[in-house]
Amino acid sequence: MRLPLAALWLTLAISVPLAAQPADWTRPFPGHRVIGNLYGVGSYDLAVFLITSPQGHILINTGIDGSTPLIRNNIESLGFRIEDVKILLTMQAHWDHTAALAEIQQISGAEMWATAGDAPMLEDGGFSDPHFGGKVSFKPVKVNRILKDGEVIEMGGTRLTVVETPGHTRGSVSYTMKVREGGRDYDVVIANMGSINPGLRLAADPTYPGIAEDFAKTFRIQKALPADVWVAGHASQYALHEKYKPGQTYNPAAFVDPEGYRAAVERHEKLYIEYLAAERR
């Protein structure tokens, strides 16, 4: 379903619930280098990633509406420019990660690339979201290209692989890349975790057909990914605040955490199994 985007946004923006947003979603946090050309430029909890290259940058996620200045400040504090972002990506089409995409697309002229599963929600501002939909929850953004599972996004020497990890949303996606630092290669995973929002239905009358199988596939895929360094959509998910304190000197080892990655995926899988069992009871 396609809706008249601008008109819809203007009429429905006012109906978006603004209550109950955690303060950590908008609390500033300094931009920092994760490893190599991967930087964290989001808020205290909403993770936004900048992958830099001499040919232009890739930006993954935003935060809620109004987070562009925070993201811009973080990018500039690291010596880069938001205007040099060439490709916009997301990990999941929920408003806490997508609401500033349209604005940043306008500022930078960057292309929005998205999976087939999430593109409709990005283009209708979350209206077609089978769980939170029926209203527009963020400003729609035009999708310029559909990403395929396993495809490699190339930008100035960086090769970022698209790994579809559906369930949290139909088109949820993770990314992997290799980073060479200090004579060593690191496998990096930018993981959309398979978390289950309250009220989601997996088995009987599923939120969308195949959602339970999608989650199962995601855990299987994520467990098989080699991860020296990993990050996720929320800082709390990958223990950012334990790994990095503001002002900390760059150290490629700071985010090395293969055990933490494995444990996090397994924790989400366990919650999924329990959720399914509770639904069937």
Distance between CA atoms of residues 28 and 14, nearest Å: 25
With binding defined as CB under 5 A, does residue 234 bind Zn ion?
no
Amino acid letter for position 73:
N
Could you tell me which stretch among 86-94, 121-129, 244-252, 267-275 binds Zn ion (CB under 5 A)? 86-94
- Residue number of the CB closest to Zn ion reads 94
Taking the complex as a whole, how short is the minimal distance between the CB of residue 120 and Zn ion, in angstroms?
Answer: 16
* Identified binder of Zn ion from the candidate list 57, 94, 131, 139, rule CB under 5 A: 94
Is 76 within 8 Å of 50 (Cβ atoms)?
no
With binding defined as CB under 5 A, does residue 139 bind Zn ion?
no
Is 110 within 8 Å of 86 (Cβ atoms)?
yes
Distance between CA atoms of residues 245 and 80, nearest Å: 21
Q: What is the CA radius of gyration of the chain?
A: 18
Taking the complex as a whole, how short is the minimal distance between the CB of residue 254 and Zn ion, in angstroms?
Answer: 26
Could you tell me which stretch among 1-9, 42-50, 94-102, 215-223 binds Zn ion (CB under 5 A)? 94-102
Cβ nearer to Zn ion, comparing 32 with 168: 168
Q: Which of 85, 162, 95, 86 is nearest to 124 (CA)?
A: 95
With binding defined as CB under 5 A, does residue 131 bind Zn ion?
no
Cβ nearer to Zn ion, comparing 94 with 243: 94
Taking the complex as a whole, how short is the minimal distance between the CB of residue 246 and Zn ion, in angstroms?
Answer: 26
Q: Give the CA angle between residues 265, 112, 240 to the nearest 5°.
A: 35
* Interface contacts to Zn ion, rule CB under 5 A: 94
